[in-house]
């Protein structure tokens, strides 16, 4: 697939077929994706790749914690201004595609829970970094590797959704995974073969034109 086409065609996938994803496939994706840039070549990314019953158990545990109103270990700060506007925009587009009305609390709750159970994907990759690192620097490097994962997964016919929801209950994850205590979860990626009939998969998120976010210097001299 041509690179430009792949970048333009990538989108978050939130509904998957049940088909498993093989260890060899994920191995290939991680080997290629970890060619990503990182500050001082620190390569801070570390991965927990989970599939099968264990993934289902972790997803159910996340949802139970969510429903119990448990405080999140890695919750997100609320957005404001244009950032809130964009957040609301993608939320509305997804709920619209799923035919979920704003006032339908039950269905909205169901939709919210899906991310916490990895959108029922057959596989998930959780990414963490060593806590001796500067967390904001390391997150930038992780951003580079996750983009590579999402792009190269497409070559295997796989769809992905990067999802902070996957790692919001770090305490829960620690019950199931022997990731050392000195590692800090950054985010997760749900990965699997896209279900072409899942309505939210058809959503194409918007982007503001670069005229609105780019300043040019020295070009008109
Ligand atoms: C760091 C990060 C965290 C994200 N967390 C979530 C999440 O928890 N749940 C979700 O549904 N999507 C999540 N997303 C996906 C974004 O909502 C999505 O990338 C954005 O709306 C643009 O849509 P697109 O990926 O289809 O282009 C996340 C993306 C990133 C980069």
Query: In the prediction, which pLDDT does 183 show?
Result: 98
Residue 27: phi and psi, rounded to 5, are -60, -45
Query: In the prediction, which pLDDT does 149 show?
Result: 98
For range 141-150, the mean pLDDT? 98
Mean of per-residue pLDDT scores for the chain: 97
Condensed to tens digits (0 to 9), the pLDDT of residues 50-78 reads 999 999 999 999 999 999 999 999 998 99
- Name which residue sits closest to atom 13 of ligand 1, judged by CA: 163
- Name which residue sits closest to atom 29 of ligand 1, judged by CA: 162
Tell me the C-alpha distance between 81 and 85, whole Å: 6
Q: Is the CB of 162 under 6 A from ligand 1?
A: yes
For range 14-41, the mean pLDDT? 98
Q: Is the CB of 127 under 6 A from ligand 1?
A: no
Instruction: Name the CATH superfamily, with its identifier, for domain 3-75+116-201.
Output: NADH Oxidase (3.40.109.10)
Query: In the prediction, which pLDDT does 64 show?
Result: 98
- How close is the Cα of 167 to the center of ligand 1, in Å? 13
Query: In the prediction, which pLDDT does 23 show?
Result: 98
Tell me the C-alpha distance between 13 and 118, whole Å: 11
For range 82-110, the mean pLDDT? 97
- Name which residue sits closest to atom 7 of ligand 1, judged by CA: 163
Whether residue 1 is predicted with pLDDT greater than 70 in this model: the reply is no
Domain ranges of the chain: 3-75+116-201
- Give, in degrees to the nearest 5, the angle at Cα 40 between 38 and 44: 50
Helices (H), 98-214: 105-116, 135-155, 170-176
Return the ligand 1 atom nearest residue 161 CA.
Answer: 15
Q: Is the CB of 115 under 6 A from ligand 1?
A: yes
Classify burial at 115, counting beta carbons within 10 Å of its beta carbon; exposed 0-12, middle 13-18, buried 19 or more.
buried
Query: In the prediction, which pLDDT does 221 show?
Result: 81
Q: Is the CB of 12 under 6 A from ligand 1?
A: yes
- How close is the Cα of 207 to the center of ligand 1, in Å? 13
Query: In the prediction, which pLDDT does 53 show?
Result: 98
């Amino acid at each position: 697939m041509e690179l430009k086409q792949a970048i333009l065609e990538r989108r978050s996938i939130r509904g998957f077929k049940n088909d498993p994803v093989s260890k060899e496939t994920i191995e290939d994706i991680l080997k290629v994706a970890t060619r990503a840039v990182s500050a001082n070549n620190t390569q801070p990314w570390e991965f927990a790749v989970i599939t099968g019953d264990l993934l289902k158990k972790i997803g159910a545990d996340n949802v139970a914690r969510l429903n119990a109103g448990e405080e999140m270990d890695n919750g997100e700060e609320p957005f404001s201004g244009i950032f809130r506007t964009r957040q609301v925009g993608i939320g509305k587009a997804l709920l619209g595609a799923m035919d979920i009305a704003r006032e339908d609390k039950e269905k909205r709750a169901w939709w919210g829970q899906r991310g916490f159970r990895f959108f029922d994907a057959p596989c998930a990759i959780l990414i963490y970094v060593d806590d001796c690192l500067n967390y904001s620097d390391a997150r930038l490097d992780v951003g580079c590797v996750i983009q590579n994962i999402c792009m190269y997964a497409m070559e295997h016919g796989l769809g992905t959704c990067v999802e902070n929801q996957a790692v919001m209950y770090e305490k829960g994850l620690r019950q199931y995974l022997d990731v050392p205590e000195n590692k800090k979860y950054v985010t997760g990626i749900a990965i699997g073969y896209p279900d072409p009939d899942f309505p939210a998969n058809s959503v194409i998120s918007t982007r503001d034109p670069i005229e609105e976010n780019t300043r040019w210097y020295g070009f008109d001299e």
